[in-house]
Homo-oligomer: A and B are copies of this chain.
Amino acid sequence: MVVKIDDVARLAGVSKTTVSRVLNNRGYLSDTTIKKVHDAMESLNYQPNAVARQLFKKETKLVGLIFPTVDNPFFGQLVAELEKRLFDSGFKVLIGNSMNDPEKEETYLKELISNQVDGLIVGAQNRDISEYHTSNLPVVSIDRNMNEDIPVISSDNYQGGKLATELLINSGAKHIINTNGPVNLKTPANRRTQAYADVMASHNMVPHTYVIDFNWDINKKERIINEMFKEYPEMDGIFVTNDMDAALVWRTAVKLGYKIPQDLKIVGYDGANSTRVLLPELTTIEQPIDEIAQVAVKTLIDRIQGKEIPAEQILPVKVWKGQSV
């Protein structure tokens, strides 16, 4: 049998209100009462039932996180950071990996919406899902444009794209390709490609953007990358929109006999911790992951507390100098 507040009250010889007061440090309590109650809780090994409390308070102290997958250096680090900061603010984290499955995202959303969570931080590859609009759950998005009401946190994607492209041009690359996710996905990350196109144009070079879908499995990605090499044999520089894909491009290039960076210069994007440990040679644009997490959590909590919050917050990127440029 599970111990409940009445059991504690009975043992301590008080009413359950009193126990509840001790539990929540509310109202006037005599020291002896407090002690009696604490002793009773101790000896019964009492754990308050959070669900009952949640039902009454209409507040769960739970935040839902919807991201493609935690099996990825960038999202793994991001989720870890979010979790850490949410924990420090008294929230626990319900996680939903939506990858490859818009239905799954919708299911998650539905289940999280009604009273299960106090707020949501999302960065999924979603299509337009109506629940984001119709519920009045506080939502903060990372690197996704959802709708007017949902604030977006992102790295300075335009600046990142600019830095990456300039890095390639300045190191002498003449035929520079860019990869990006599907363009129909509404994300500020598309600004990376915009910046690439702008910089290319200003140097009188022709931009080519190649689509690599985040959700494709590795074999499909490798096949597409091989095709890309065939299609652009003159390619001597490439700005890949994330580090995992950049690593695949690198591997493929080496297999095809390219020397990096002599024959092909590569710049990635993300710069997560574990990427930097496993492949420090990759030159990349580092997102300020920790700061993104920090701002996202602060923004969400402000939203939950009904404060005014900015519609968009853009955080500065840095260049990680590896040896691929």
Contacts and interface: CB of A to CB of B under 8 A. Distances in A.
Which of A108, A114, A218 is most buried by chain B, counting CB atoms within 10 A of its CB? A114
A55 B56 CA distance: 11
A70 B81 CA distance: 9
Interface string A43-77: 00101111110110000101000000111110011
A71 B114 contact: no
A278 B95 contact: no
B277 A111 contact: no
Contacts of A110: 47
A113 interface: yes
Nearest to A54: B51
A71 B274 contact: yes
Interface string A190-227: 00000000000000000000000000001000000000
Interface in A58-112: 60, 62, 69-73, 76-77, 79-81, 83-84, 87, 92-97, 104, 108, 110-112
Interface stretch (A168-176, A244-252, A259-267, A305-313): A244-252
A275 interface: yes
A32 to B, nearest CB: 26
Contacts of A135: 47
Contact of A116 (B51, B108, B247): B51
A277 B282 CA distance: 13
A274 B244 contact: yes
Contact of A76 (B50, B54, B72, B275): B72
Contacts of A104: 87
Which of A84, A116, A272, A273 is most buried by chain B, counting CB atoms within 10 A of its CB? A116
Given A76-B76, A94-B92, A83 B55 contact: no
Interface string A274-308: 11011110000000000000000000000000000
A30 interface: no
Interface in A108-124: 108, 110-116
B51 A247 contact: no
Contacts of A79: 70-71, 95
Interface of A: 2, 45, 47-52, 54-55, 60, 62, 69-73, 76-77, 79-81, 83-84, 87, 92-97, 104, 108, 110-116, 134-135, 218, 243-244, 247-248, 251, 272-275, 277-280
6 contacts: A51-B51, A70-B70, A71-B77, A87-B96, A87-B104, A218-B277
